[in-house]
């Protein structure tokens, strides 16, 4: 699952750069922000569930 979150995060960053550099593709900026937010939420959920399962 961590690998998937890393891949989604990298894709989101690429979309942010492409959306920022190309005015005609500015919708990619918003797609990148949404995907990055989802990746961050997924990472946080994974991190907290891993902490609970180890009893820390």
In tens, the pLDDT along 11-43 reads 888 877 776 677 666 777 788 788 888 888 888
Task: Flag whether the pTM goes above 0.85.
Answer: no
- Residues 45, 21: Cα–Cα separation, whole Å: 32
Residue 56 has pLDDT above 70, yes or no: no
Residue 6 has pLDDT above 70, yes or no: yes
Phi, psi of 55, deg, nearest 5: 75, 25
- Between these two residues, 52 and 5, which has the higher pLDDT value? 5
pLDDT tier for residue 54 given thresholds of 50, 70 and 90: low
Burial of 43 (0-12, 13-18, 19+ CB in 10 A): middle
The DSSP letter of residue 23 is: G
CA-to-CA separations, 5 to 19, 23, 26, 30, 45, in angstroms, rounded: 21, 28, 24, 18, 11
């Amino acid at each position: 699952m961590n690998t998937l979150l890393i891949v989604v995060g990298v894709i989101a960053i690429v979309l942010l750069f492409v959306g920022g550099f190309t005015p005609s593709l500015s919708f990619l900026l918003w797609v990148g922000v949404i995907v990055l937010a989802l990746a961050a939420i997924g990472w946080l959920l994974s991190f907290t569930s891993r902490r609970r399962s180890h009893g820390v």
